[in-house]
Structures are given as structure tokens and as C-alpha cells.
Amino acid sequence: MTLEQWIEIAEVLITWGFWFIIYGAIAMSLGFGILAIVNKPIRFFR
């Protein structure tokens, strides 16, 4: 593989990781919000 191909892959991975973190944070916020509304004890490990 050429250096340019590695750079393209790296940029895609960084972009994916960035959006994954953003959406993950939103999903966690929604999940905690729902649990707070229904007043369930928060369990990290089931």
C-alpha cells in the first residue's frame, strides 16, 4: 500500500471515531435521561 492510501484510511478512521464519540455521548445522555425519568437505579454492570 502507498503512503497516500494509508493517509486516506487514517483520515476515515479519525472521522468515524470522532462521530462515534459524539453520537455515543448523545446516546448515553438519552439513556441516563430516560433512567432518571423512570427512577431506576443505574447499573453499569448487569
**Which residue's entry shows cell 494509508?**
6
Question: Can you read off the three cell numbers belonging to residue 18?
Answer: 470522532
Q: How confident is the model at residue 46 (pLDDT cuts 50, 70, 90)?
A: low
Question: Are the C-beta atoms of 35 and 42 separated by less than 8 Å?
Answer: yes
Reported as a single tens digit per residue, the pLDDT across 6-44 is: 999 999 999 999 999 999 999 999 998 998 888 766 666
Question: Can you read off the three cell numbers belonging to residue 7?
Answer: 493517509
Question: Are the C-beta atoms of 9 and 17 separated by less than 8 Å?
Answer: no
Between the alpha carbon of residue 40 and those of residues 27, 29, 37, 45, the distances in Å are: 17, 15, 8, 14
- The HSE-up count of residue 16 (CA atoms within 13 Å, CB side) is 6
- For the entire predicted model, the pTM comes to 0.53
